[in-house]
Amino acid sequence: MDPKKLFIRTYGCQMNVYDSERMAEAMGGQGYVETDTPDDADMILLNTCHIREKAAEKVYSELGRLKDLKAANPDLKIGVAGCVAQAEGEEIMKRQPMVDLVVGPQTYHRLPDMVKSVSEGTKVVDTDFPLEDKFEVLKNRPKARRAPTAFLTVQEGCDKFCAFCVVPYTRGAEVSRPAERILREARELVERGVREITLLGQNVNAYHGEGTNGATWSLARLIWALNDIDGLERIRFTTSHPNDMSDDLIAAHGECEKLMPYLHLPVQSGSDRILKRMNRSHTAEDYLRLIKRIRAARPDILISGDFIVGFPEETDADFEDTMSLIRDVGYGQAFSFKYSTRPGTPAAERPLVDDAVASERLQRLQSLINEQARSVMEDMVGREIGVLFEKKGRMEGQMVGKSDYLHAVHVTAEGIAAGDLRRVRITGAGPNSLAGALV
């Protein structure tokens, strides 16, 4: 019998990318192979994101578009996974009755059983927070060849309850995986050709998992253990909270050879009044002091962040405080968003900022960030840095990779293969990438 085809569309964060990969692996055991188009699929899974309004709306309109496929092929099964599944549950099937399966982020290890029920014609909704560990159920990763970079989830969930955020509700309480399992998975990835691992967690630097010696390990301790794996060349982690930037982690940025000089450290706002209303439990000054300490440990580190503009009751003066913090930090990159009301979160009850005002603030903030990102890229010209090559470029003989600082770098040269880590002299800065030559 031909294998059945599975199409997964992934929305949102890197953890969803990781989850989609694990779901595909779990379905592999049921005879499904992945396909890159929904048109000939036997099963379609939308792995969804709930962080901002448009994300959920996109899912509903995507489901609307899938109606024709379902009409043409009544055997086609359609599932919704991820954070919208968690938040909306049965509501999804009420709005789109053709959906067969709704599975939250904490139960996708049960997918094979759910798919069995679905193929027998029973609809399934599973949005539990179960006691068993999904990663333990999905223990063995298949040995297929893969890209030189990979994500690895080490921590999940969040106990911080920022007033705007759904993550504590959709992903649940903070949980850290035991170090032994993480190290085992990292070794398996390296055997499959992976050279760079990005450790994932909604609050990754709050990691406090069981160490291989029975003691509780911090993220820094875990990074030092990963540093000893032969064949692993680069370690990154994301996303961090300022309050969990511990001394050993700051020190690791200066001392740990494989830990890359890039840190995503969201602050959300530069106004203490707004930070307080956001329930961030740190001030702008705390954040700036922290950045100073991190740069003292690793002077060339590139800082990235997240910002929300138009948070309820944000005044012009609050917004100017954010702009001034951005000028003080000097970001290499940042993500910024207009505040979006998430039902059930504390901020959802508060008066909104006028939409046109919020849009104008977002534009000003983004052009400042773009200016900073540009100048950081231009400063790379003339420098010699590490590049991990990932794939062929668009031009003949060209290879593309990522620099230590996570910029895309193009190099035209003979004899570079995907997975090679080489020293490159940066020769030019384009709008979205750098150009370089092998040293």
- Which residue of 18, 60, 129, 337 would you call a contact of ligand 5AD, by CB under 6 A? 337
Is 49 among the annotated ligand-binding positions?
yes
The DSSP-derived string for 378-403 is HHHTT-EEEEEEEEE-SSTTEEEEEE
420 binds ligand 5AD (CB under 6 A): no
Size of the site for ligand SF4 (CB under 6 A): 10
84 binds ligand 5AD (CB under 6 A): no
158 binds ligand SF4 (CB under 6 A): yes
Instruction: Tell how strand 149-153 and strand 196-200 pair up.
Output: parallel
d(CA 212, CA 179): 6
Burial 284-293 (b: 16+ CB within 10 A, else e): bebbeebbee
CB 253 within 8 A of CB 291: no
- Which residue of 202, 269, 336, 372 would you call a contact of ligand SF4, by CB under 6 A? 202
Count Cβ atoms below 10 Å from residue 230 Cβ, excluding itself: 7
Nearest alpha-carbon partner for 66 in 119, 9, 146, 104: 9
308 binds ligand 5AD (CB under 6 A): yes
Q: Which residue has the tokens 């850290």?
A: 176
205 binds ligand 5AD (CB under 6 A): no
Binds 202, which of ligand SF4, ligand 5AD, none (CB < 5 to 8 A, cut-off by type)? ligand SF4
d(CA 183, CA 17): 20
- 284-297 vs 247-255: helix crossing angle, rounded to 10: 30
CB 194 within 8 A of CB 229: no
- Which residue of 111, 165, 190, 416 would you call a contact of ligand 5AD, by CB under 6 A? 165
The CB-of-171 to ligand SF4 minimum distance in angstroms stands at 8
List, in sequence order, every beta strand (DSSP E) within 172-287: 175-176, 196-200, 208-210, 216-218, 234-238, 262-264
15 binds ligand SF4 (CB under 6 A): no
306 binds ligand 5AD (CB under 6 A): yes
The CB-of-386 to ligand 5AD minimum distance in angstroms stands at 28
Q: Which two tokens stand for residue 43?
A: 């099963």
201 binds ligand SF4 (CB under 6 A): no
Which residue is nearest to ligand 5AD, using beta carbons? 306
244 binds ligand 5AD (CB under 6 A): no
Nearest alpha-carbon partner for 269 in 204, 339, 332, 209: 339
Nearest alpha-carbon partner for 124 in 84, 169, 78: 78
d(CA 334, CA 268): 10
164 binds ligand 5AD (CB under 6 A): yes
Is 256 among the annotated ligand-binding positions?
no
The CB-of-3 to ligand SF4 minimum distance in angstroms stands at 37
Instruction: Tell how strand 208-210 and strand 216-218 pair up.
Output: antiparallel
The CB-of-414 to ligand 5AD minimum distance in angstroms stands at 41
236 binds ligand 5AD (CB under 6 A): no
For the chain, give the number of residues: 439
CB 209 within 8 A of CB 240: no
Q: Which stretch binds ligand 5AD (CB under 6 A): 116-124, 143-151, 244-252, 335-343?
A: 335-343
Binds 328, which of ligand SF4, ligand 5AD, none (CB < 5 to 8 A, cut-off by type)? none
Helix (H, G, I), strand (E, B) or coil at 89: coil
266 binds ligand 5AD (CB under 6 A): yes
Q: Which stretch binds ligand 5AD (CB under 6 A): 97-105, 116-124, 215-223, 336-344?
A: 336-344
- Which residue of 70, 77, 110, 241 would you call a contact of ligand SF4, by CB under 6 A? 241
Q: Which stretch binds ligand SF4 (CB under 6 A): 35-43, 154-162, 327-335, 409-417?
A: 154-162
What does the DSSP 8-state code read for residue 274? H
Q: Please enumerate, by residue number, every residue annotated as part of a binding site for [4Fe-4S] cluster.
A: 13, 49, 83, 158, 162, 165
Q: Please enumerate, by residue number, every residue annotated as part of a binding site.
A: 13, 49, 83, 158, 162, 165
Q: Would you tell me which residues interact with ligand 5AD (CB under 6 A)? A: 51-52, 164-165, 266, 268, 306, 308, 337, 339-340, 342
Q: Would you tell me which residues interact with ligand SF4 (CB under 6 A)? A: 158, 160-162, 165, 167-168, 202-203, 241
